[in-house]
Amino acid sequence: IPACRTPGVKVPRNFRLLEELEEGQKGVGDGTVSWGLEDDEDIMLTRWTGMIIGPPRTIYENRMYSLKVECGPRYPESPPFVRFVTKINLNGVHNSNGVVDTRAVAALAKWQNSYSIRVVLQELRRLMMCKENMKLPQPPEGQLFSN
């Protein structure tokens, strides 16, 4: 785990993303979310895949949700684009294409440059545990959003 980030210092984008890549591979965190580069050859470190393990005692339990996370050129100053690949019924996620509404997720709406892909994934997972979400009827497992 890298040392505390000093406030005010802006870490260059690629450094940050490489750090996140490493954390993803080392399994930093509690093991309920996972993330990594979609394509190992992607030298711009733009396209990432994420995985969220559905939290227990919710309707998402035991399911694995795949996501696409895109870190644009202004990351980490700007939040990433996040989109569910696996179909899910969750407040804040567009039913048609799985795009996560930036305004619905606190981590995205109030993005800070100290946040990371992991924070976003964990927040989405936490949303699954909210009362308003935890019992939403879900599509059968294995379905994907059509682009």
Partner 1 sequence: MAENSGTDPTVDSNVVENAASDRTMIVVTVKTPKDKEEITISEDSSVAQFKEEISKRFNAKQDQLVLIFAGKILKDGDTLNQHSIKDGLTVHLVIKTAPNDTISSASSSGTPQANSSVNPSSAPNDSTTPDTGPTPASTQPPNLLSGFGDLSNLSGMGMGSANFMEMQQQMQRQLMSNPEMLSQIMDNPLVQNMMSNPDLMRQMIVTNPQMQQLMERNPEISHMLNNPELMRQTMELARNPAMMQEMMRNQDRALSNLESIPGGYNALRRMYTDIQEPMFSAAREQFGNNPFSALGGNLDSGVQPSRTENREPLPNPWGPPGTTPLESRGTGASTTTTTSAGGTAPSASNPLGINASGLGNGVFGSPGMQSLMQQISENPQLMQNMLSAPYMRSMMQSLAQNPDLASQGSNPTATTNPSQQQQQLMQQMLQMFAGGGGGSLTVTPEVRFQQQLDQLSAMGFINREANLQALIATGGDINAAIERLLGSQPS
Report the residue from 43, 110, 146, 147 that binds partner 1 according to the rule CB under 8 A: 110
Report the residue from 53, 82, 88, 100 that binds partner 1 according to the rule CB under 8 A: 53
Q: What are phi and psi of 123, to 5 degrees?
A: -70, -40
Q: What are phi and psi of 63, to 5 degrees?
A: -100, 155
Considering the complex, state which of residue 51 and residue 99 has its C-beta at the smaller distance from partner 1.
51
Compute the distance between CA of residue 88 and CA of residue 97 in angstroms, rounded to an integer.
10
Min CB(146)–partner 1 separation in Å: 20
Compute the distance between CA of residue 91 and CA of residue 83 in angstroms, rounded to an integer.
13
Q: Binding string, 23-52, against partner 1, x = CB under 8 A?
A: -xxxxxxxxx-xxxxx-x-------xxxx-
